Amino acid sequence: MTRDDKKPDTDTELSAVVEGHATADPPSVDCLLQSPSDPCTLVIIGASGDLTSRKLIPALYHLFEKKGLPDRFQVVGCGRTALTDDEFRARMEKSVLENDEDQSLWEAFKVRLHYRVIEYDSADSYRELAEQLRELDSTSGTEGNRIFYLALPMFLYGTSAQMLGESGLAVEHEHGNGWTRIVVEKPYGSDRASAARLDEVVHQSFSESQVYRIDHYLAKETVQNILIFRFANAIFEPMWNRNYIEHVDIIASETLGVEKRAGYYETSGVLRDMFQNHMLQLLALTAMEPPSGFESDAVHDEKVKVFQNLRPFPTHNLFENLVLGQYRAGTVDGEPVRGYREEQGVDARSLVPTYGMMQVYLDTWRWQGVPFFLTSGKRLGAKLTEIVIKFKEVPVSTFRDVLGKHITANVLTMGIQPREHITLSFQTKSPGAETCLRTVKMNFDFEEGYAGPKLQAYEKAILDCMHGDQMLFWRQDGIDLAWAFIEPILKECESCKDPKRLLQTYKAGSWGPKAAVQLKELMVKQCR
């Protein structure tokens, strides 16, 4: 018998929970890895930064290891820091081989890495880059196919996209170019207007079909599985609506604090950092209608309808639907940690929220009256991302004379991370002479029965971009609508004159502000 003590206290009425099992057929060999794409060069602009060594090069190296890269594949890192190819390779080696001893594989990979110094705002600098790329095409057979990955601070995205345009690098199938794609990291703008300005600049040189706006949550296996689970099974979809579902919880809690990103986070906070993007994507996947086919535009079209149907947030009584918090000093994983305001680079009087819990409604036939609670925060009790579908209680309790009126409702949990699972709880009779109920769980672990290679989010995102598949990236209209929803909340918060109302504090290592738990309990009661 197990009980999950780490989860937020949403299941308090469960008397006993017994876990069972689901079994998995082995996956077909075809789904282990897509065949390598066309030959190409990946150009990382901003290659001396953290993202390149922490995420991009390790992702490429692991794809290489899994034979997921085309044979003719090169990487050109561009940055302002003066480095030779060898120095760049030595830096990358440290981040890749930390826990990996396969030196011979690294030797085979590293010869594909090149580095050049670049001025981000100089068209001449990009023209010289274009020259190098053409040379590389002729020596390495990369056929002029290029991905430009902007691993830059946000304020340089527009400049770099513009310079790529001016130097002729954005054009496809001309001047020696094959296909050309641009990858833009989040944050995509800091509000609706800045996102639109960025789009305007990017679209001066690139068409929408060339633009890949990353949301690494979409590339997580278990996030991709939401649509498969919903639309490849006939038994759940008929219940996936207001008639059977009481409310939906979407939770993304982290144990990490702001780390070394205070400069960015102080201008962002949890609403821009997690809600405008990852949380709304999880909501869209949970709530969308079945797309007409499993292809990029059809999926984007349905997501966009979800964003269009978001009920405008009631900013006139903001704090009856939203709790924001900021962590103070506490203990995480047994280690004392400081409060947000004591973090390096954070203003000692900062009012930036590191936690948010909001109630959101969708004005559609399917979802009318069903609240979606979105919760995300840093320095919470555990790393946990999950979507919890809480079904309605039985309409009448047949067992009311023996067991009382309330019978615990069914709960379906889609665990995104760290445990990747799908679990359905239901009621059974407890063995024995007395009539007692017990809640049991039918559980499927995502990796069960699977021994093949797994793709980390960045590996999947890079691979899809190489294949020209935009499904797991943001489309322009989605970004705009997501900002349109979040922006009024941001405005109201940023003009709030009462810091105590605006921001609750919570102890690092806890489950967030008490006010959030209380408000949520109240809101759940109201929706019954």
Binding of ligand BG6 by 459 (CB under 6 A): no
CA distance 437 to 435: 7
> Please, which residue, 36 or 257, has the CB nearer to ligand BG6?
257
> Please, which residue, 324 or 424, has the CB nearer to ligand BG6?
324
- Identify the three-state secondary structure at position 149: strand
> Please, which residue, 254 or 386, has the CB nearer to ligand BG6?
254
Provide, rounded to whole angstroms, the least separation between the CB of residue 254 and ligand BG6.
5
Binding of ligand BG6 by 302 (CB under 6 A): no
Binding of ligand BG6 by 386 (CB under 6 A): no
Token look-up 């345009």 returns 165
Active-site position among 216, 278, 300, 421: 278
The sign one gets for the Cα dihedral 8, 9, 11, 17 is positive
* Pairing label, strands 211-214, 180-184: parallel
Query: Please, what's the b/e burial string for 142-166 (b: 16 or more CB within 10 A of its CB; e: otherwise)?
Result: bbbbbbbbbbbebeebbebbbbbbb
Active site annotation includes 278? yes
Contact pattern for ligand BG6 over residues 1 through 30, marking x by CB under 6 A: ------------------------------
Amino acid identity of 521?
E
- Identify the three-state secondary structure at position 383: coil
Contact pattern for ligand BG6 over residues 155 through 194, marking x by CB under 6 A: -------------------------------x--------
> Please, which residue, 210 or 268, has the CB nearer to ligand BG6?
268
> Please, which residue, 73 or 217, has the CB nearer to ligand BG6?
217
Token look-up 């997690």 returns 274
Residue of 357, 375, 384, 356 lying closest to 254 (CA atoms):
384
Q: How many residues bind ligand BG6 (CB under 6 A)?
A: 5
Provide, rounded to whole angstroms, the least separation between the CB of residue 35 and ligand BG6.
27
C-alpha angle 432/438/440, rounded to 5°? 120
> Please, which residue, 247 or 378, has the CB nearer to ligand BG6?
378
Q: Which helix (H) or strand (E) holds 358?
A: strand 355-360
Contact pattern for ligand BG6 over residues 330 through 369, marking x by CB under 6 A: ----------------------------------------
Binding of ligand BG6 by 254 (CB under 6 A): yes
Provide, rounded to whole angstroms, the least separation between the CB of residue 273 and ligand BG6.
5
C-alpha 192, offset from chain centre: 20
Neighbours of 10 (CB within 10 A): 18
With a CB cutoff of 8 Å and minimum separation 6, the contacts of 261 are: none
13: left (phi over 0), alpha (psi -120 to 50) or beta: alpha
CA distance 230 to 226: 6
* Pairing label, strands 113-117, 73-79: parallel
CA distance 118 to 124: 9
* Pairing label, strands 245-253, 372-377: parallel
- Residue nearest to ligand BG6 as judged by C-beta position: 273
Provide, rounded to whole angstroms, the least separation between the CB of residue 356 and ligand BG6.
12
Provide, rounded to whole angstroms, the least separation between the CB of residue 216 and ligand BG6.
6
334: left (phi over 0), alpha (psi -120 to 50) or beta: left
Q: Give the CA radius of gyration of the chain.
A: 25
Neighbours of 107 (CB within 10 A): 11
DSSP character at residue 523: H
CA distance 304 to 306: 5
Contact pattern for ligand BG6 over residues 205 through 244, marking x by CB under 6 A: ----------------------------------------
> Please, which residue, 203 or 383, has the CB nearer to ligand BG6?
383
> Please, which residue, 255 or 308, has the CB nearer to ligand BG6?
255
Q: How many CA atoms lie within 13 A of 289 on its CB side?
A: 15
> Please, which residue, 228 or 256, has the CB nearer to ligand BG6?
256
Residue of 325, 327, 44 lying closest to 160 (CA atoms):
44
Binding of ligand BG6 by 273 (CB under 6 A): yes
Active site residues: 278
- Which residues here bind ligand BG6, judged by CB under 6 A? 186, 254, 256, 273, 385
